[in-house]
Structure 1
Amino acid sequence: MESGEYIIQLQRIVESKTFTNFILAVILFNAVLLGLATDERIYASYENIFILLDIVILAIFTIEILMKIVVYRLRFFRDGWNIFDFVIVFGTLVLYNSHFIAVLRILRVLRVLRTISVVPSLRRLTTALFMAIPAIGSVTLLMGIIFYVYAIIGTSFFGELAPEYFGDVGLSTLTLFQVFTLESWASGVFRPIFAEVTWSWLYFVSFIIISAFIILNLIVGEIVNNAQQLSEHAEEESRDMERIKQDLQELKQMMRENGKH
């Protein structure tokens, strides 16, 4: 078999659904092992088995990365997710018997994040999240302005009544963040103030509606919009690949027919 045919066969294996599912299963199995290893009694009882399985898993990941490098060559490093996988796997190899135990443990845990790079839907969702960062920055700035305005209002009206919550702008901001998370805001913050100032419900309810509902929906909407665009782009690329395959099949058929004549 020529080298070109060998690489084509290897590419079919790497891009096959069976191979992808196998790597995903290994990643999930590795995640379970990491969870079990946190129990000192279990790890002490089966330490040798844990070490052996960790070596086997690392070997599988190394072979996978090497296969992809052989197939894609320099194109492999043009994908950020491939670089992420490469750093985790080969970083673990380099540090395996070193004194950097803490870094090695972090790299082992980060193997679980390879689930994102293996599952296409997770890759699109994560990419959509990164694409939304500029918009999230603008929304965060808007949220900061809203927090600041409401903090000044809260300090002005409720500072003397509840100094532990609205004594100054800093305390007011922390209190508003608690209200924003909807964590014990009613019983802990709102009701004692409402008992003294009946109109205070307008302040708290309006803040929750603006910050917790409208602002968060803007962020979620931006992420969903980017995810939808990426999904449509992926579908378009898939259709293009199908057309290319059909054209190649037709070209091969024509070449066979011409060969017969």
Structure 2
Amino acid sequence: MLQSVWEKTLPQLLTLRAIIRKFTELLAFELFIFTVVGIHTTVLVAQTFAEVQVRGEWFFSAMDAVFLCVYVLEALLKIIALDLDYFRNPWNDIDFFIMIMMMLDFVLPLLLSMGQATHSDASSLVRVLRVFKGIRAVRVLRLLLTLQILENLQELTSTFALSGPSIGAILLLMFTFLFMFSVDTHDLFQSSDPQHFGELFDTIFTLFQLFTLDDWSFIYLDCVQTGASYIIFFLMAYIIIEYFTFLNLVIAVLVDNFQLALIKRQELQKHHWGKRAPSRGFLSPLTEGQKATKLEDDEAILAQLIKNMEGPITPTEKQLLFTYLQQMASIEHLQQKFRSQAATTDKIIDSFFEVGDTSIRYGE
């Protein structure tokens, strides 16, 4: 019986799911969510003013409940429409995380007022959850990235995404050298300057401060007064490796990926315009929609060539001539692809040398 009921209701459920999916893909639905996100961000900014927060505490509490209902409804509709594919989109993961944090921030004070948890534990947990309130403003970034007019912002964001693995490797090297220098300077200068190098964690904090070139001369003078003037060699090596080498590597990775993103956008634009105005010569590359017409044109040209030739031609010779012309068309197509790839390589090399020349000028 249950199976028969399920078989009857399954088509209706699938139809309902398709309707919900179309609804979540509507532009009006996206505009509504973005409007709610914008209002929510404005409310968060208003809550930073103490006087406004005190006078409108009841209003902000009611608005938080409204925003929470909208976000929960949005997540439920998208999960029904997309199933587990909902969590494959990083933006959906961020939205879901923000919704969970808002739910906990809304439920925990109620549990605290009902006496379901101790005051100290619940208060500390509420303070931790309130830290995540600022994360709600991240959804505004999604709104900005969807605007087509902000192409530079989109490319900048894609540059950070492409640079993530390389910058992560550089940061790993930076903190490795930081730890190595911390161990050495702690062993050598803990008696000379116990305030900065007395403990290992103090040493790590001091070297991180030196990474910003902050007060390194005062640390040197303090060690000189205690007879440890040779610390200058450690300071110079540390600053050259960490600041001038690794930090410039991070900047170089960002600049290089940004140039590649610009070149990629230019190539996509050329490809887009190339599709709009394809060439129609006999030896030009073919598209899928033109193959039938192009084949007829080639046969007509082949017939004209055979007509102009002196003497009879056998079917085998005709087939060989037609194959020869097809091979020539393929060669021309490959030459065009090679020219396009060579032009892209030249642009990448020119951009690389332009970045190098700019760095040299700034260095001078």
Q: 1:72 to 1:171 in 2, by over 3 A?
A: closer
CA distance in 2, matches of 1:32, 1:94: 21
Per the alignment, residue 176 of structure 1 pairs with 207
Contact 2:178 2:208 (C-alpha < 8 Å) held by counterparts: no
Provide the TM-score with structure 1 as the length reference.
0.61
Per the alignment, residue 254 of structure 1 pairs with none
Match of 1:46 among 56, 59, 65: 56
Contact 1:10 1:67 (C-alpha < 8 Å) held by counterparts: yes
Per the alignment, residue 221 of structure 2 pairs with 191
1:55-66 to 2 correspondence within 5 Å? 55-62=65-72, 64-65=74-75
Displacement after TM superposition at 1:14 (Å):
5.0
Match of 1:30 among 39, 43, 49: 43
Query: Per-residue CA shift, 1:61-99, capped at 9, x if unaligned?
Result: 455556656776664432021122033236635763452
CA distance in 2, matches of 1:207, 1:64: 51
Q: 1:33 to 1:153 in 2, by over 3 A?
A: closer
Per the alignment, residue 128 of structure 1 pairs with 160
CA distance in 1, matches of 2:57, 2:81: 36
Q: Which moved more, 1:161-170 or 1:172-181?
A: 161-170
Contact 2:178 2:204 (C-alpha < 8 Å) held by counterparts: no
CA distance in 2, matches of 1:117, 1:44: 31
Query: Per-residue CA shift, 1:171-195, capped at 9, x if unaligned?
Result: 65443233223332222x0223346
Contact 1:150 1:207 (C-alpha < 8 Å) held by counterparts: no
1:105-184 to 2 correspondence within 5 Å? 105=130, 108-120=133-145, 121=153, 125=157, 128=160, 132-133=164-165, 135-137=167-169, 139-141=171-173, 143-145=175-177, 147-149=179-181, 151-152=183-184, 155-156=187-188, 158=189, 161-166=192-197, 172-184=203-215
Q: 1:200 to 1:78 in 2, by over 3 A?
A: closer
Q: Structure 2: where are the runs of 5+ without partners?
A: 1-14, 113-121, 146-152, 278-288, 290-364
Query: Per-residue CA shift, 1:136-162, capped at 9, x if unaligned?
Result: 245423542365257526744x55543
Match of 2:243 among 212, 215, 240: 212
Provide the TM-score with structure 2 as the length reference.
0.47
Q: Which moved more, 1:65-74 or 1:103-112?
A: 65-74
Given residue 164 of structure 2, which amino acid in structure 1 is its aligned partner?
Answer: A
Structure 2 counterpart SS, 1:183: coil
CA distance in 1, matches of 2:73, 2:59: 21
Given residue 220 of structure 2, which amino acid in structure 1 is its aligned partner?
Answer: F
Match of 2:111 among 86, 95, 99: 99
Per the alignment, residue 203 of structure 1 pairs with 234
Given residue 238 of structure 2, which amino acid in structure 1 is its aligned partner?
Answer: F
Tell me how large the CA RMSD over aligned residues is.
4.9
Q: 1:228 to 1:85 in 2, by over 3 A?
A: farther
Structure 1 counterpart SS, 2:214: coil
CA distance in 1, matches of 2:102, 2:179: 44
Displacement after TM superposition at 1:223 (Å):
4.7
CA distance in 1, matches of 2:37, 2:274: 29
Q: 1:75 to 1:159 in 2, by over 3 A?
A: closer
Displacement after TM superposition at 1:32 (Å):
0.9
Q: Which moved more, 1:126-135 or 1:52-61?
A: 126-135
Given residue 179 of structure 1, which amino acid in structure 2 is its aligned partner?
Answer: L
| Percent of residue pairs identical | 21
CA distance in 1, matches of 2:22, 2:259: 32
Per the alignment, residue 256 of structure 1 pairs with none
Structure 2 counterpart SS, 1:35: coil
